[in-house]
């Protein structure tokens, strides 16, 4: 099937790619394009069968990161989603397109119902995994947003009316993987994860209606934001004196993982596939040198310029 990963960053390679060794082969380069190509493909009605969209994870060219991941401004992510929605909803292929917006975390929102312990362990390496944990507990509840002209307005959907009952299997992130396999009639056993194999059958089918809606909601990001000004940067600098944050914003664990994964990817490319990993010393040096988003931007501008 046709597929493409569209990245928002103009400096950093696709996060999906640098974190998955299976995707490093240069023969797959054509599958990784900039988000501007996605907008073009929407306009022409030539999207691949499967598209994966990546926001930006670091400030570039003075623009805020759009990942909604700390320390990014959530509002920037809302405006990014508005751009994606406008591209899809005005596409001549809109009636054939399903947009899924996934969040990997709960955003710090409290939940009065604790997750249950009825999840299936993904595999033998997690039965048990580190510290004796069997990965048999569902995580905190996170939202997923589905957009299609074949979904009724304001639909709220759950796996069951009692998703946290002991005998219920709630939807989780692996339900999306199960849906993709079912969609393309691929046996779920093609993936090693037992969690995927045990996901509810044909998840999300009940979401869709028979007749295509004629209305297209004009969604609008209602928040406004500006990039950090001199005053805000001064406040951040003063906070740094007490070890609270760095000027330009201290790196999050996610951003540190991007730096490390990118170092491995570039080492592989430079060696033409002979070296799979950068050395631990190189990784430690990078993480000791790059301490803020400002440092991270300068680092990637430098390595991209050398390339």
Nearest alpha-carbon partner for 39 in 80, 73, 76: 80
* pLDDT exceeds cutoff 60 at 284: yes
Residues 152 and 254 in one domain: no
pLDDT of residue 250: 72
Residues 125 and 186 in one domain: yes
Residues 100 and 177 in one domain: yes
Task: Return the percentage of the chain with pLDDT > 90, whole number.
Answer: 53
pLDDT of residue 218: 85
Residue bearing the bigger pLDDT, 126 or 43: 43
Domain of 161 in residue numbering reads as 3-207
Residue 223 placed within a domain: no
Residues 199 and 284 in one domain: no
Residue 292 placed within a domain: yes
Residue 9 placed within a domain: yes
d(C-alpha 217, C-alpha 192), whole Å: 39
β-pair partners for 100 = 146
Interval 55-83 mean pLDDT: 87
Helix residue ranges per DSSP H, 184-279: 194-197, 230-241, 253-270
Cα Rg of the chain (Å, integer)? 21
Helix 280-289 to helix 293-306 angle (10° resolution) is 130
The single residue listed with the structure tokens 């002991």 is: 166
Backbone angles phi, psi at 53, to 5 degrees: -105, 135
Residues 186 and 285 in one domain: no
Say what the pTM is. Answer: 0.87
Task: Report whether 288 contacts 251 (CB < 8 A).
Answer: no
In total, how many domains does the chain have? 2
Nearest alpha-carbon partner for 158 in 204, 96, 125: 204
pLDDT band at 246 (very low <50, low <70, confident <90, very high): very low
Task: Report whether 102 contacts 173 (CB < 8 A).
Answer: yes
Residues 99 and 247 in one domain: no
Residue 220 placed within a domain: no
Residues 27 and 95 in one domain: yes
Residues 164 and 257 in one domain: no
* pLDDT exceeds cutoff 90 at 65: no
Residues 239 and 99 in one domain: no
3-state helix/strand/coil string of 96-140: HCCEEEECCCCCCCCCCCCCCCCCCCCCHHHCCCHHHCCCCCCCC
Look at residues 192, 207, 222 and tell me which one is the last residue of a structural domain: 207
Residue 219 placed within a domain: no
Residue 216 placed within a domain: no
Residues 128 and 240 in one domain: no
Q: 54 by DSSP, 3-state: which?
A: strand
Residues 153 and 44 in one domain: yes
Residue 213 placed within a domain: no
* pLDDT exceeds cutoff 60 at 278: yes
């Amino acid at each position: 099937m046709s597929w493409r990963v569209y990245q928002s960053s103009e400096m950093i390679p696709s996060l999906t790619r640098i974190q998955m060794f299976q995707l490093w082969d240069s023969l797959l380069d054509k599958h990784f394009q900039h988000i501007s190509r996605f907008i073009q493909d929407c306009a022409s009605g030539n999207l691949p069968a499967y598209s994966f969209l990546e926001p930006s994870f670091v400030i570039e060219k003075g623009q805020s990161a759009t990942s909604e991941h700390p320390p990014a401004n959530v509002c920037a992510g809302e405006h990014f989603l508005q751009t994606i929605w406008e591209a899809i909803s005005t596409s001549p292929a809109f009636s054939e397109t399903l947009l899924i917006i996934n969040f990997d975390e709960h955003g710090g929102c409290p939940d009065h119902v604790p997750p249950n312990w009825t999840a299936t362990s993904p595999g033998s390496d997690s039965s048990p995994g580190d510290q004796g944990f069997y990965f048999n507990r569902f995580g905190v509840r996170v939202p997923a947003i589905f957009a299609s002209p074949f979904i009724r307005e304001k639909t709220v959907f759950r796996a069951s009316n009692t998703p946290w009952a002991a005998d219920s299997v709630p939807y989780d992130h692996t339900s999306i993987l199960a849906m993709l396999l079912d969609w393309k009639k691929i046996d779920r056993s093609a993936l090693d994860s037992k969690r995927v194999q045990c996901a509810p059958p044909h998840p999300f089918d009940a979401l869709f209606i028979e007749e295509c809606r004629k209305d297209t909601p004009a969604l609008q990001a209602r928040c406004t934001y500006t990039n950090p000004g001199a005053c805000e940067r001064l406040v951040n600098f003063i906070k740094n004196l007490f070890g609270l944050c760095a000027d330009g914003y201290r790196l999050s664990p996610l951003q540190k993982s991007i730096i490390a994964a990118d170092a491995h990817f570039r080492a592989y490319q430079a060696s033409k596939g002979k070296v799979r990993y950068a050395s631990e010393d190189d990784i430690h040096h990078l993480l000791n040198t790059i301490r803020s988003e400002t440092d991270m931007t300068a680092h990637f501008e430098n390595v991209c310029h050398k390339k």
